[in-house]
Amino acid sequence: MERLGLGIAWTALVLVILFLLLPIVVVIPVSFTEATVFRFPPEGFSLQWYAKIRNVDGLLGALWLSARIAALATALSLLLGTLCAIALVRGAVPGAAAITTFMVSPLMLPGLVLGIALLQAAREVGLRDAWWSLLLAHVVITMPFVMRTVLGSLSLFDFAMVDAARTLGCSYPVALWRVLVPNILPGFVSGALFAFIASFDNYPVSMFLVDVRTKTLPIQLLNYLEISPDPTLAAVSTGLIGLTVLVLILCDRLVGLRRMASI
Amino acid sequence: MTGMAALQQAGHLTVAGASKRFGAALVLDDLSLAVAKGEFVSLLGPSGCGKTTLLRCIAGLLRPDAGHISVAGRDITTLPAHRRNVGVVFQNYALFPHLTVAENIAFGLRAQGVSKSESAPRVAEALALVRMTEHAGKPVTALSGGQQQRVAVARALVVRPSLLLLDEPFSALDRKLRETMQVELKHLLREVGITAIFVTHDQEEALVVSDRIAVMNAGRIEQLADPATLYGRPASLYVLDFVGQSTRLAGQVTEAAGGMLAVQTALGPVRAPGQFAPGSRVVVAVRPEAVVLGEAAENRIAARVREVSFLGSRTQLHLDLPEEGEDRGVVELPRLPEGIGPGSAVTLAFREADTMVFPAP
């Protein structure tokens, strides 16, 4: 019986892995097709769809915008989120547990709700600029990811180390920088990674905040799909997959994926 | 301020009238302490007595609500921790896991802007001092408890602090290692010639490592004395209780003349030196090793053996005394006499001079 049960579990594992990976893997060969339609298996080999990325109106601009927004929002979240997390873990904040739950709650909120609420809020305070409202909205999107991993690392961190650094001649901020930051680096990196991805491919929130000249990549891609569904999208996707793999390799070199996964 | 000035003259480290409150709890209560240069003083007390709070105030990690702290004649009460030059060995050592042994030790030198060329020989010297030279390149997570403690001590000493504070430095070690490290550390610190304050709740440890012991109770120092005085002449029942064991009997003073008291206890009259008015309710006490079986001393009481504990180099008799509570009895003998066991009736004898009298609580 035990063998049979394990066999079923094994089969399920293989099927799920295939189901998770196949669609992603299929995109890569399709991006090199000579055909003008999205079809598998691809016909021939060409780089024409990669060349076309440059010519599609607004695609590179959207990519650049999304990258900048994601990077800035992640950086802001790391700074603010770490300070908030330190206050929650060390500051004897009344109701710290409830506040912690609140700080990670946008993770559980439907993006649509958040998008409408943020649009409303931006209107109320008279914020008409799409770029700034996108950035602020994406700080809201990224903050819970950063909070979650940084809080996780902080709860394992022994703050006596900060005291030790202080008695050895570091002021409090310097002690945080030289002792706390290196020790919670895995939490930073994995939090930043999740946050960046969450911002980069966010659709439901951004949808409400973009304007004609300021469109993020997911929105631009979907627009393009509606107008001309050709393998350019596969080429863009393959490029993003390559980028992700590159970032993961860098993270592995920097702190080790094992350490990141454990947080 | 004349009191403060007198204290400062007396000590390398001076704490004058320090108070600290956490919410409703008064953790330090107008506490004063003077420690001479090169002296080892233990702050001994149960958890919550304020000993760690006092240590953190001296280190600058907490600021007292009232009072002054000075080191080498300089008032450091408001100086932040990083400018005090007070070394601390933390309870779990608080070594930096992202750095190697040598980098941990060099940390303070780097923080204080000591150049690489000057810091390298000082780190090497500190490593040699704690016999960790061969482990210099290891990550601290690969070290045993005793080795971690040595690194923590070297890291604190390498910056040449004016004072070393140790917060329960042996509590993370197992018993056997703890005893070795206590002697080793005491010897090492003596060689360096540093003034050191140990915080501990372990009275045996305090007796081993200290020149003087401050027994703390509820934010105050109950008694500050050398180990022999503390053990032989405790100032209060609290100190008697906290340091070592004793046989205790409740009683009433029946006679007081020329510094000698006669006390009536449930087990008969006992004579002891002391100053109490006749009629006072008191507790008489005697240390376990000051008691012999038989009639070879002035004070004698009869008791029954409840239990016998063999401790290797000595044997303890636990006695049945008439009342629970104030009355308890422990006697320590070099070896158990023939025919004595649980239930035996014995006569205890102890000298008048070894008998202590305290006011009844």
The partner residue sitting opposite A164, judged by closest CB among B80, B90, B112, is B90
Does a structural domain hold residue A70?
A: yes
Query: What's residue A262's pLDDT?
Result: 58
Looking at the fold, whether B281 and B161 belong to one and the same domain comes out as no
Backbone dihedral angles phi then psi of residue B307, each to the nearest 5 degrees: -150, 150
Assess B159–A contact: CB distance below 8 Å, yes or no: yes
Taking contacts as CB-CB distances below 8 angstroms, the residues of chain B near A167 are 59-61, 81-82, 84, 86-88, 156
Could you identify the residue written with the tokens 């030198």?
Answer: B109
- A161–B82 C-beta distance less than 8 A: no
Assess B154–A contact: CB distance below 8 Å, yes or no: no
Closest CA to B201 of B185, B216, B187: B216
Cα A235 to chain center, whole Å?
21
Mutate to test the interface with A, among B107, B162, B164 (most CBs of A within 10 A): B107
Looking at the fold, whether B277 and B173 belong to one and the same domain comes out as no
Query: What's residue B250's pLDDT?
Result: 87
Number of neighbours of residue B103 by Cβ within 10 angstroms:
17
Looking at the fold, whether B89 and B35 belong to one and the same domain comes out as yes
Looking at the fold, whether B205 and B319 belong to one and the same domain comes out as no
For the segment A16-29, the average pLDDT, to the nearest whole number, is 89
Domain count of the fold of chain A = 1
Q: How many CB pairs under 8 A join A and B?
A: 69
Closest CA to B109 of B153, B70, B158, B66: B158
Q: What is the DSSP letter of A33?
A: -
Looking at the fold, whether B209 and B93 belong to one and the same domain comes out as yes
**pLDDT per residue as tens digits for the range A58-109:** 888 898 999 999 999 999 999 999 888 888 888 788 888 888 888 887 667 7
Looking at the fold, whether B21 and B144 belong to one and the same domain comes out as yes
Q: For residues A48 and A52, give the distance between their C-alpha atoms in angstroms, rounded to a whole number.
A: 6
Q: What SS3 class is residue B291?
A: strand
The partner residue sitting opposite B96, judged by closest CB among A166, A169, A179, is A179
Q: What is the DSSP letter of B290?
A: G
- A171–B82 C-beta distance less than 8 A: yes
The partner residue sitting opposite A168, judged by closest CB among B92, B97, B108, is B108
Domain boundary, last residue among B206, B240, B274: B240
- B107–A163 C-beta distance less than 8 A: no
Looking at the fold, whether B199 and B54 belong to one and the same domain comes out as yes
Does a structural domain hold residue A9?
A: no
Domain boundary, last residue among B208, B240, B272: B240
**pLDDT per residue as tens digits for the range A197-253:** 889 989 888 988 888 888 898 888 888 888 887 888 888 889 888 988 888 888 778
Domain boundary, last residue among B225, B240, B255: B240
pLDDT tens, N- to C-terminus, chain B (361 residues) = 445 555 545 579 999 999 999 988 899 999 999 999 999 999 999 988 999 999 999 999 999 999 999 998 889 999 999 999 999 999 989 999 999 999 999 999 999 899 989 999 999 999 998 889 999 999 999 998 889 999 999 999 999 999 999 999 888 788 888 888 888 888 988 888 899 999 999 888 899 889 999 999 999 999 999 999 999 999 999 999 888 888 888 889 998 888 899 999 888 889 999 999 998 999 999 998 898 888 888 898 888 888 888 888 888 888 887 665 555 788 888 888 888 888 888 888 999 999 999 998 8
* Amino acid letter, residue B234: P
Q: Is the peptide bond before A41 cis (omega within 30 degrees of 0)?
A: yes
Looking at the fold, whether B87 and B209 belong to one and the same domain comes out as yes
For the segment A141-146, the average pLDDT, to the nearest whole number, is 90
- Closest chain B residue by Cα to residue A166: B82
Q: What SS3 class is residue A171?
A: coil
Say if residues A190 and A259 touch (Cβ distance below 8 Å).
no
User: ipTM of this model?
Assistant: 0.82
- Closest chain B residue by Cα to residue A170: B82
Q: What is the DSSP letter of A176?
A: I
Looking at the fold, whether B151 and B100 belong to one and the same domain comes out as yes
Give me the CATH number covering residue B20. 3.40.50.300
Domain count of the fold of chain B = 2
Q: Cβ neighbours of residue B225 under 8 Å, at least 6 residues apart?
A: B212, B213, B233, B235
- Closest chain B residue by Cα to residue A179: B96
Assess B61–A contact: CB distance below 8 Å, yes or no: yes
Looking at the fold, whether B324 and B294 belong to one and the same domain comes out as yes
Give me the CATH number covering residue B321. 2.40.50.140
Q: What SS3 class is residue B42?
A: strand
Query: What's residue B166's pLDDT?
Result: 94
| Structural domain for A77, as ranges | 57-261
Assess B169–A contact: CB distance below 8 Å, yes or no: no
Closest CA to B47 of B210, B216, B169: B216
Give me the CATH number covering residue A228. 1.10.3720.10
- The sheet carrying B281-286 orders its strands as B268-273, B260-265, B247-257, B281-286, B356-359
| Structural domain for B29, as ranges | 2-240
Q: How do B315-320 and B299-310 pair as beta strands?
A: antiparallel
The partner residue sitting opposite B92, judged by closest CB among A158, A182, A183, is A158
- B80–A168 C-beta distance less than 8 A: no
- A174–B108 C-beta distance less than 8 A: no
In angstroms, the separation between the Cα of residue B224 and the nearest Cα of chain A is 27
Looking at the fold, whether B65 and B214 belong to one and the same domain comes out as yes
In angstroms, the separation between the Cα of residue B3 and the nearest Cα of chain A is 29
